[in-house]
């Protein structure tokens, strides 16, 4: 184990993909960072999460020097299918966006690649940290404290990066009067099932059905990931594998039913859906990134990608501070992130509202959704808007560009 310093330039709380990616980018730029994580490394790796990477995220993983396995094993997708009224319609991402694509590569694999790179570089990472607390982030020398095995530890730093997720300590440590939180909790969840079966289709299928939303996704050519919209009151124990497969068939079109390969689940869980944003994302020398600052419903595949763009902006700001002595990037970090975040929140909310069954809207709600989907698949401008948002807007989208 690498000896832990008593002080560092950046203390990163959270060893999920955002914290690990930030640590890797800072390391390559010569900025010292220590990562503190309350869970074990095995627990972090066991979490099943998103699997669709935008081009911005792919480029950032390459910049961090961890993109090799992604390019070897990831699946490039140039489109996806929308299924409604028992018919599928392909959204041609590649054609509608001038050649852009997305990469299907599980978040677990991204985390594994980043963990391995950090371990090989011998960089300090603390796992199983108990009672993690942050202190003095409104002063020049903040601190992070934690306990391991009954022993108290403390780390001084210049900045704290809060990458510790929605339930983490960093956002919770900000005085309530200094933060505004916006939240919408949806009245349903996603029941997800992972199985070592051949995917039903080579691209993703998003399903609008009178029985509820479904998603046919994948992690590789031999591993599938499927989701069903279920009431929040449902428990995983209520859903046998057979019940899951039976319900999925009822929501698919005839061709997909014939091509569906079933098998025992490797993992099964129910995830609630919410839209959430905390403003601002910086207080003194504490900056939040990823799920610590925002949550999107997974319909638009934005969660991991938004975290990656936060990390890009934050790493640039910190590197600029240490190389040039400029605090401009840090001062503008929150505003820069939030413009991109709210665009992604808007798209994820719209796509969720379009594809899911809302019982309170009755039959007219289903008819209105189908009418909007029918318009969408027959309008090139509407298709282009969906494709542009799905593949991810450029990091400088909407920013003022210098004149000639």
CATH number at residue 309: 3.50.50.60
Q: Is the separation of the CB atoms in 335 and 279 below 8 Å?
A: no
18 belongs to a structural domain: yes
Q: Domain containing 342: what range?
A: 10-77+100-182+274-354
How many distinct structural domains can be found in the chain?
Answer: 2
Whether 18 and 68 map to the same domain: the answer is yes
By mean pLDDT, which of 58-62, 220-224, 228-232 is the weakest? 220-224
What pLDDT score was predicted for residue 75? 94
Q: What is the pLDDT of residue 402?
A: 43
Instruction: Please determine, for residue 20, whether its predicted confidence score (pLDDT) is greater than 90.
Output: yes
- Clarify whether residues 252 and 374 are in a common domain: yes
Distance (Å, whole) CA 116 – CA 109: 10
**Statement to judge: residues 73 and 212 lie in one domain:** no
> 161 and 228, same structural domain?
no
Q: 206: closest CA among 370, 65, 376, 88? A: 88
Span 302-329, average pLDDT: 97
Note the pLDDT tens digit of each residue in 389-401: 999 988 887 665 5
CA separation for the pair 315, 326 (Å, rounded):
13
How far apart (Å, rounded) are the C-alpha atoms in residues 116 and 36? 16
Rounded to an integer, the average pLDDT of 140-144 is: 96
Q: How far apart, in Å, are the Cα atoms of 185 and each of 62, 67, 189, 300, 305? A: 35, 35, 10, 16, 21
- Report in angstroms the alpha-carbon separations of 266 from 117, 212, 224, 269, 379: 27, 23, 10, 10, 40
Same domain, 121 and 138: yes
- Number of Cβ within 10 Å of residue 372's Cβ equals 16
Length of the chain: 404
Decide if pLDDT at 5 tops 90.
no
Q: pLDDT tens digits for 200-215?
A: 999 999 999 999 999 9
Residue 90 forms part of a structural domain: no
Please check whether residues 154 and 279 belong to one and the same domain. yes
Is residue 404 in some structural domain? no
Q: What is the mean pLDDT of residues 15-27?
A: 97
Please tell me whether residues 64 and 133 are part of one structural domain. yes
Residues 6+ apart with CB under 8 A from 363: none
Nearest partner of 213 among 189, 236, 185, judged by Cα: 189
Closest by CA position to 58, among listed 15, 95, 13, 109? 109
Examine residue 93 and state whether it is found in any structural domain, yes or no. no
Please tell me whether residue 209 adopts helix, strand or coil conformation.
coil
DSSP secondary structure letters along 135-161: E-TTSSS-EEEEEETTEEEEEE-SEEE
Q: Say how many CA atoms lie within 13 Å of 349 toward its Cβ.
A: 14
Mean pLDDT of the chain: 95
At residue 206, φ and ψ (nearest 5 deg) are -100, 125
Is 89 within a domain?
Answer: no
- pLDDT digits over 26-53, tens only? 999 999 999 999 999 999 988 767 789 9
Of residues 257, 276, 43, the one with CA closest to residue 166:
276
> Do the domain assignments include residue 209?
yes
Residues 36, 165: one domain?
yes
Q: What is the pLDDT of residue 400?
A: 58
**Predicted TM-score of the model (pTM):** 0.93
Q: How many CB atoms lie within 10 A of CB 58?
A: 22
Q: In whole angstroms, what is the distance from residue 16 CA to residue 74 CA?
A: 20
Helices 362-377 and 328-355: crossing angle, nearest 10°? 110
Given pLDDT bands bounded at 50, 70 and 90, which one contains residue 368?
very high
Asked if residue 56 is part of any domain, the answer here is: yes
CA max distance for the chain:
64
Active site residues: 77, 206, 298, 302, 390
What CATH number has the domain bearing residue 236?
3.30.9.10
On whether the CB atoms of residues 9 and 322 are closer than 8 A, the answer is yes
């Amino acid at each position: 184990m690498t000896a832990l310093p008593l002080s560092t330039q950046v203390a990163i709380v959270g060893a999920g993909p955002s914290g690990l990616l930030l640590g890797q980018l800072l390391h390559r730029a010569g900025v010292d960072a220590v990562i503190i994580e309350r869970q074990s490394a095995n627990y972090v790796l066991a979490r099943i999460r998103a699997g669709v990477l935008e081009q911005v995220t792919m480029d950032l993983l390459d910049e961090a020097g961890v993109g090799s396995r992604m390019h070897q094993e990831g699946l490039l997708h140039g489109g996806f299918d929308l299924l409604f009224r028992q018919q599928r319609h392909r959204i041609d991402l590649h054609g509608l966006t001038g050649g852009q694509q997305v990469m299907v590569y599980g978040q677990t694999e991204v985390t594994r690649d980043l963990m391995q790179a950090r371990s090989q570089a011998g960089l300090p990472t603390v796992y199983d940290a108990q009672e993690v607390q942050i202190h003095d982030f409104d002063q020049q020398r903040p601190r992070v404290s934690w306990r391991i095995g009954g022993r108290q530890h403390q780390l001084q730093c210049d900045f704290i990066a809060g990458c510790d997720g929605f339930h983490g300590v960093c956002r919770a440590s900000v005085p309530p009067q200094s933060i505004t939180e916006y939240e919408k909790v949806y009245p349903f969840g996603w029941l997800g099932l992972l199985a070592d079966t051949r995917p039903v289709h080579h691209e993703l299928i998003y399903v609008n059905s009178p029985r509820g939303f479904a998603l046919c996704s994948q992690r590789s050519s031999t591993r599938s990931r499927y989701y069903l919209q279920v009431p929040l009151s449902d428990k995983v124990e209520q859903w046998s594998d057979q019940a899951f497969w039976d319900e999925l068939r009822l929501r698919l079109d005839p061709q997909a039913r014939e091509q569906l390969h079933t098998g025992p689940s490797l993992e099964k869980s129910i995830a609630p859906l919410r839209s959430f944003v905390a403003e601002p994302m910086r207080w003194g020398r504490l900056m939040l990134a990823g799920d610590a600052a925002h949550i999107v419903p997974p319909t638009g595949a934005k969660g991991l990608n938004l975290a990656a763009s936060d990390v890009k902006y934050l790493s640039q700001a910190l590197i600029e501070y240490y190389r040039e002595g400029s605090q401009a990037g840090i001062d503008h970090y929150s505003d820069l992130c939030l413009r991109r975040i709210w665009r992604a929140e808007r798209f994820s909310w719209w796509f969720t509202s379009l594809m899911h069954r809302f019982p309170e809207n009755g039959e007219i709600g289903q008819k209105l959704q189908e009418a909007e989907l029918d318009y969408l698949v027959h309008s090139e401008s509407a298709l282009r808007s969906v494709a542009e948002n799905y593949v991810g807007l450029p990091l400088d989208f909407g920013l003022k560009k210098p004149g000639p």
